[in-house]
Amino acid sequence: MTRFGDFQALCHQTPSYPWCNLFYRQLLKHSPTTLTGLSANPKSAPVGVNPECGALRVNNDGSLGNIANIIVCGLGFFFVIALVFWSNRRRAAVGRDELKVFLIMYLFTLPLQLITTGSLLEQGSTALVVLTAIHAGAVAATFWALLANGLVATQIVEDGTLSSLIPFLIFIVAFFAATLYIALDVGLTITKTFGPSNPPASLHSIPLFVLTSIWPGFAALVYFLIMAYIVLGVLRERKPMGYYLLAGVLFVLSQLDYFLLNKIICKGTKASVDGSFIATILETAAVGALYLGWRSITEESWDDDQFYRS
C-alpha cells in the first residue's frame, strides 16, 4: 500500500525521475537484492528504481542515454541566458533584480537536470547522489524565488532594496540548504533521521516528497493567484494576464507530459528517448512566458502608475 511520501510508484513508472537516484544508492547500500530488472547492474542501470522503461547508461548496448533531454537542456540553458540579458537591460523595471535571480536559479537547474536525468553517471555513485541532492536543493530554492517574485510585485516592500533582497536571498539559501541536507541524508544515509526508508522497497521520505513534489506546485499556484490579482484586480489589464495564463498552462502541460505520457513515449521508442524532453521544453517555455508577462506589466506605459512607483 502506497503511503504519502513513498517514491516507489514514481521511480517504477516514471522514466528519468531524478530523485530516484538518491534511493538507488540507499537500496544498493542497505537492500541490494531489491534491485532487479534494469536496475540490477549499476554500471548500465537507467534513472529510476526497477523502472518499467528507461534509457540505459551511455555506452551500454549503444545507448546515448537520455539524449533528447540532454540536447533540450543544453539549448534551454542558452535561451535562459538570453532572458537574463534582456531582463538586465530593463533597468527601471519593477522587480528586475528579483526576476534576474529567479531566472539565474532556473538556469542553474538545467545543467543539473541534464546530468541527473541523462543516464551519464553510474547509478549508486557518490557523484550522482551529490549532484542529484544539489539539483533537489536548486529546484526547491527556484520555486521560492518564483513565489517571492509574486510577493515583490505587490510592492509590500520596495523592490531592489535591501529590505526586499535580503529576506529574498536568505530564504533561497534556506530552501537550498534544507533540501540539500535532506537529499544527501536520503542518498548517503549519513544519519537515520531521513533514511533509510522502512520498508526499503517503499522508497519513503516525506520531507523529500514535500520539498520536491508538493512545494513546487504550491508555490506556482500561489504565484499565479498573486499575479492574477495584480494584473486583473489592480492594473485592470488583460494582455499581461494572457502571458501569465499561458505560463500556467505550459507548466501544467509539462507535468502532465512528465507523469502521464513519459512512459508511453519511452516504450513507444524502445527507450531511445522518453517524454522528459517535452516536459523540459514546456517548462522552459513557461519561464519565457513569465518573462513576457513581467515585461508587459513593466512597460513604459505603467511607469507612472502609483501601484508600481518606486
- Interval 143-194: pLDDT, tens: 999 999 999 998 888 887 888 899 999 999 999 999 999 999 999 998 888 8
- Find cell 513507444 and name the residue: 268
Rounded distance between C-alpha atoms, residue 47 and residue 64, angstroms: 13
Q: What Å distances lie between residue 108 and 26, 101, 103, 283, CA to CA?
A: 26, 10, 9, 14
Domains and CATH numbers, the chain: 8-308 (1.20.1070.10)
Contact 21, 123 (CB under 8 A): yes
- Please give the Cα distance from 208 to 194 (Å, whole number): 9
Give the gyration radius of the chain's Cα atoms.
Answer: 20
- Output phi, psi for 161, to 5 deg: -95, 170
Q: Is the pLDDT of residue 263 over 90?
A: yes
Confidence band, pLDDT 50/70/90 cuts, at residue 93: confident
Q: Tens of pLDDT along 105-157? A: 999 999 999 999 999 999 999 999 999 999 999 999 999 999 999 999 988 88
